[in-house]
Amino acid sequence: MHWIDLTIFFLYMVGMLGFGVFFLQRNEGADDYYVGGRNMNSLHIGLSVVATDVGGGFSIGLGGLGFVMGISGSWMLFTGLLGAWLAAVFLIPKVKGNPVFDKAFTFPEVFKHYFTPQVALVAGTISAIGYAGFTSSQILAGAKLATGTFADLDLQTALIIMGSVAVVYTVMGGLKAVIYTDTVQWTILMIGLIFIGIPISYTAVGGWEEISKTVDPALLSMSNISWQDVIYWTVTIIPIWFVGMTLYQRIYACNDEETAKRAWYLAGVFEWPIMAFMGVSLGLFAKVGAEQGMFEYLGAADVSETDPETGLPMLLRTVLPVGLMGIMMSAYFSAILSTADSCLMAASGNVVSDIIGYFKDIDHDSDTFLRFSQITTLVIGTFALLIATTMTNVLDLMLYSYAFMVSGLFVPIIGALYWPKSSSIGAIAAMIFGGSTTVSLELFLEELPAGLDANVFGITVSAIVFVAVSLAFPDENTENMTDTSAVNVNAINQ
């Protein structure tokens, strides 16, 4: 990589760390650190939502899908659009439109309101573990991008570099810094893809004529997808919009309910079709380049042995001229940081507010709390980096993290918001049985019936257990639980 590109990339990293330092000096308490002061507008929130959800992991993962599946891989993010819009219609009015959550910081506080503190503790633990894993996936995405770009850089060294930058920046800045920098980072990524990455890569591989001659025609079809893939992405990605801690933090950060809805609609459109097709197209171009022998000088002469997720970094390294390479690498690293920092903030919020806060009363407005939160974020970030050193596939790690949270938390949150007979014991049982079913199947069975994903069975078990246990062990006054928001507002705010 030329020194000009390295300089551009270095200055970008310094600039992002500078944002962290800037907000470090201005964060005054939990509202600033975890929910951005609760006064953000729809543009910043919308871009932050899509930057967090798509980010670098899906950017690299989408490249891998484009390499293997072609443009039909874009359907994965169509489920993101559906999830965003469904959440805008069915979730946001229940959360942002309910004054009982005006002082909330985390997703499990919804469970605390509708059920008991014990339910919130279990949910916070599941969410914290899931987001620690998701943070790891982003660090791994950055490391893969770096090793595909810098010839002499090994994966472990790249993990340390990417992990350190992401963790230190997040520890300092908090969510307000995350949201503002997400806007900058997403803008950089979009400009980089639209004006640099896609047109130059398309030209380098020979345009449509060479693409159509080189790859299997199935890769150019939107139907190159199995029904198992459709179900897998549907049950894994759509529900995360209802249980994602990063998303609840942004709902709380919005000015009002309408601001939150506009932000979610905007995020959905950016996910599909905009980011979806750009991501898989670059992966497809990388496949063409690999078939043409473009990466032989990098030791990737055998296409069948090429890691699909490294195809995109190798393509960019090969075709981009000096200067533009540095901009494009900054664009991808910015996307990775925009997701890593958000996920790390989510895990930290769960640990501090939902787990530690269960055992000890916390003054969210104190300086001590702010410093303690930063230390907690540092510890979790270090742990996430260690997890990343044991994984090799970005998309798998991301979707495992998704599946773990979704299978345990999706059914109980829907029940809490929409089913008056939901009970606390039923919610805890559903979380435990749903999550453990998915994890057990992932670990111990290589093939499941009909080729379905473990998360399908995890959610099914969660739903059956939730309904059965809730009916068998109802809470007192269960019939009225969904209508008690106004009664509890003053008590919670005090």
* Better-scored residue on pLDDT, 352 or 479: 352
- Mean pLDDT computed over 432-451: 88
pLDDT class for 332, splitting at 50, 70, 90?
low
DSSP assignment string, 144-180: HHHHHHSTT--HHHHHHHHHHHHHHHHHHHHHHHHHH
- Mean pLDDT computed over 423-432: 96
78-120 pLDDT per residue, tens: 999 999 999 999 999 999 999 999 999 999 999 999 999 999 9
Range among 13-17, 72-76, 313-317 with highest mean pLDDT value: 72-76
Question: Tokens in use for 431?
Answer: 């979380």
Q: What domains lie within the chain, and their CATH numbers? A: 3-493 (1.20.1730.10)
Question: Tokens in use for 115?
Answer: 């059920």
127-161 pLDDT per residue, tens: 998 888 888 877 877 777 777 666 667 777 777 87
Q: Give yes or no for residue 487 having a pLDDT over 50.
A: no
Instruction: Give, for 214, the enclosing helix (H) or strand (E).
Output: helix 207-214
How far apart, in whole angstroms, are the C-alpha atoms of residue 468 and residue 264?
34
* Better-scored residue on pLDDT, 309 or 253: 253
As a 3-state breakdown, the chain gives helix, strand, coil percent values, each rounded to 5, of: 80, 0, 15
**pLDDT at residue 42 in the model:** 92
Mean confidence (pLDDT) of the chain: 84
- Mean pLDDT computed over 263-288: 93
In this structure, of 203-207, 336-340, 447-451, the range with the lowest mean pLDDT score is 336-340
pLDDT class for 321, splitting at 50, 70, 90?
confident
Range among 358-367, 377-386, 426-435, 442-451 with highest mean pLDDT value: 426-435
Dihedral angle computed from the Cα positions of residues 104, 109, 115 and 119, in that order, rounded to the nearest 10 degrees? -160
Range among 54-63, 104-113, 186-195 with highest mean pLDDT value: 104-113
Q: Give yes or no for residue 389 having a pLDDT over 80.
A: no
Instruction: Give, for 391, the enclosing helix (H) or strand (E).
Output: none
Q: Give yes or no for residue 400 having a pLDDT over 90.
A: no
Confidence (pTM): 0.86
**pLDDT at residue 478 in the model:** 47
How far apart, in whole angstroms, are the C-alpha atoms of residue 275 and residue 280?
9
pLDDT class for 476, splitting at 50, 70, 90?
confident
Axis crossing angle, helix 117-149 with helix 394-418, rounded to the nearest 10: 160
| 317: phi then psi, degrees, rounded to nearest 5 | -65, -35
How far apart, in whole angstroms, are the C-alpha atoms of residue 454 and residue 462?
12
* Better-scored residue on pLDDT, 350 or 404: 350
Q: How many residues does the chain have?
A: 494
Please name the residue that has the structure tokens 């345009």: 207
In this structure, of 299-303, 337-341, 389-393, the range with the lowest mean pLDDT score is 389-393
Q: Give yes or no for residue 486 having a pLDDT over 60.
A: no
Pick the closest to residue 210 from 280, 293, 148 (CA basis). Answer: 293
- Mean pLDDT computed over 462-479: 88
Residues 392, 107, 233, 88, CA torsion sign: negative
- Mean pLDDT computed over 326-353: 81
Looking at residue 470, its amino acid is S
How far apart, in whole angstroms, are the C-alpha atoms of residue 93 and residue 333?
34
User: Quick one: what percent of the chain has pLDDT higher than 90?
Assistant: 43
**pLDDT at residue 483 in the model:** 42
Q: Give yes or no for residue 336 having a pLDDT over 70.
A: yes
**pLDDT at residue 489 in the model:** 37
- Mean pLDDT computed over 21-28: 74
Q: Give yes or no for residue 408 having a pLDDT over 80.
A: yes
Contact 366, 32 (CB under 8 A): no
User: Burial of 18 by CB count in 10 Å (0-12 exposed, 13-18 middle, 19+ buried)?
Assistant: middle
Pick the closest to residue 200 from 377, 319, 105 (CA basis). Answer: 319
219-236 pLDDT per residue, tens: 999 999 999 999 989 988
3-class DSSP assignment, residue 254 = strand
Pick the closest to residue 46 from 243, 141, 187 (CA basis). Answer: 187
